[in-house]
Every structure is written in structure tokens, then in C-alpha cells.
Copies of this chain bind each other. A is one copy, B any other.
């Protein structure tokens, strides 16, 4: 059993920043990246949280990720931003998009940012939520390295491809929807492998395209999408929205988000925002209040994102529980970067 240690959010952020600074990442990029990782950890999204620090640091040290990238932005259409993440971490490019979209949408009513030459998006719903906190309805699409077959095919070609959505509510926190289109996260298969457990046969295919209950075979094969052929069509849709539309790499062209070797993954993200008072003729908030009340009244149903907000509240009050091994690994990154490793 792995021991855990408790860190305040400030301690966790400081730890992340120091590891990144020690790995040839510039200060503003380190701050943006650390904030995203700690927020994901606090929301209970450990797969997008502090577990990423060792692989992020290794990729910055090897130069696969440019820790000093300064994202740039152009506006090829009056409502359309094109953001070059310049093979840095995704978060500084996303910050630029999220800071610019609200002022644009105030005039255009709908606006979009297409991000390319980018890396791991992290917790997609957090970006959508941030835009909703500016009063916008937001959609976020990203692709990721190959994990899911074309429907009927045998080789992984597309990413697990998150979709996130957020809408502001006057009477409550923004309503946030955030899901990957694979049936389960790849980390769940890795965890089963590490624990020596079998997996259900509807999670993944082996390298011959056959269902498998062996996690090792599944790690060599591909993930299954939600909803069979319909879900696979949604995976392709997100691949096209995130990569074809932005001029980025497809899943089958992208290097790993974990390994420190190879070229930058160069994947893409597309953000779409609406100024909902404009699009609804002023009816949007009444509409949100109506459906939130209907969900709260429905016996057995609850608003999406409730668990995430519970986790966040608990983390703010009690701090984060991190494995001792992970903290030790991050501290050794810091020592190594400071010449004491």
C-alpha cells in the first residue's frame, strides 16, 4: 500500500512550479501549467493532475515540449482566433484564447479559437467553466494521441477526444459537462494491469481488433468508444473539429503525451463561445433556471459536475492527498534541476 501525504493547494502549486522551473520551463508557463494541474487534482481528476508532473518535466527537459514557448494569436476572421501554441504546454495558449474570447463574443455573439501545435489539454471542463464564469456558453473539443480505431478498423488511429460544455447559471455554479469519448480512461486499464486484475471485455480491443479482458493486451490494442458506431462517429467528429479545422496533427500522427522522446505531439483544440443573452433574445437565464430546477426536482437525477464541485470544496478545506512516491519523485526533479540530484 502506497502512503499518502497531505498538501495544501498552495503547497501543491509551489511543488509543481518548482519542478517545472527546474526542468527548463519559463516562469509564466510554469505558473499557468501548475495552476491547471492543481485545479484538476482538486476536482478529483487525478489523471489530469499532479501525476503529470514527472512526464511534463521530462518532456520540457528533453525539449519535446518548449517550456519557454510564447503562444501567438491571429484573427483570420472577425469572430475567429487562430492560436499557435508553438510546441509549448497547452495551458498558456488556452489562457490567451480564454482571455480574448469574452471581449470578442461581446461584439460577434459567437466566436471561436482554434489552437494548434499544442499538447495535453488537461481537464477540458475547467476551460469551459472558466469561459462560463465570463458569462459565455462554451464548447471545447480536443484530440489526443491515437487510442481508438476508426469504426470497423483494427488499429488505434484517433484520440479519446474530450468534449466539454459549460453554461453560466445565475442561481448556481456554471453547469459543466466534461467527458472523453472512450468508455473508460486508459489509466483505468493501466491500474488494472498494475493490480494484476482482468478488465471487462467492453473496455478495449487487443492488437488484432478483438475484445480482450487482459489489460496488457488492451494497452497494446485500442480503447472502445461509448455508444458503438455512434460513439465512434463522435470520436471522428471531434478529431476533425480539433485537428482538421485547426490544421493540427491527427491522433495517428501525434507523439505520446507521456514519453519524453520524439517530436512534439502537435495536436489541436477548438473553443466555441456564445454570448447567450444575444442568441436567446434575453431568455437564456430563465431557460437555465427552468431546466436546473427540473433536474433538481427529478427523483434520482442530479446536475452533472456535482461530484467535481464537492471534491473542489473538500480540497480547499482539507488540502490534497498525494502519494508519497509521487511527492518524492517531484522533489527529486526539483533537486536534480537545482544541481543537487
Interface stretch (choices A12-20, A35-43, A51-59, A151-159): A151-159
Of the residues B209, B226, B287, contact of A227 by C-beta under 8 Å: B226
Of the residues B79, B153, B276, contact of A108 by C-beta under 8 Å: B79
A245 (CB) vs chain B CBs: closest residue? B279
A304 within 8 A of B: yes
Within residues 277 to 317 of chain A, which ones have a CB less than 8 A from any CB in chain B?
278-284, 287-288, 290-291, 294-295, 298-302, 304
Nearest chain B CB to A303 CB, angstrom units = 9
A274 within 8 A of B: yes
Q: Using a Cβ–Cβ cut-off of 8 Å, how many residues does chain A contribute to the interface with B?
A: 77
Instruction: Please state if B110 and A272 are interface contacts (CB–CB under 8 Å).
Output: yes
Instruction: Please state if B77 and A154 are interface contacts (CB–CB under 8 Å).
Output: no
Instruction: Please state if A153 and B300 are interface contacts (CB–CB under 8 Å).
Output: yes
Given A110-B77, A110-B272, A151-B301 in contact, is the A280-B227 Cβ separation under 8 Å? no
A-side binding surface: helix, strand, loop or mixed? mixed
* Chain A residues at the B interface, C-beta cutoff of 8 Å: 76-80, 82, 105, 107-112, 114, 116, 137, 139, 149-155, 157, 163, 165, 167, 175, 177, 179, 181, 183, 209, 226-228, 230-231, 233-234, 236-237, 239-241, 243-247, 250, 252, 270, 272, 274-276, 278-284, 287-288, 290-291, 294-295, 298-302, 304
Instruction: Please state if A240 and B153 are interface contacts (CB–CB under 8 Å).
Output: no
Given A227-B231, A240-B137, A245-B276 in contact, is the A78-B109 Cβ separation under 8 Å? yes
Of all A-B residue pairs in the complex, the 6 with the closest CB atoms, nearest first, are A77-B109, A80-B109, A226-B227, A247-B283, A247-B280, A153-B298
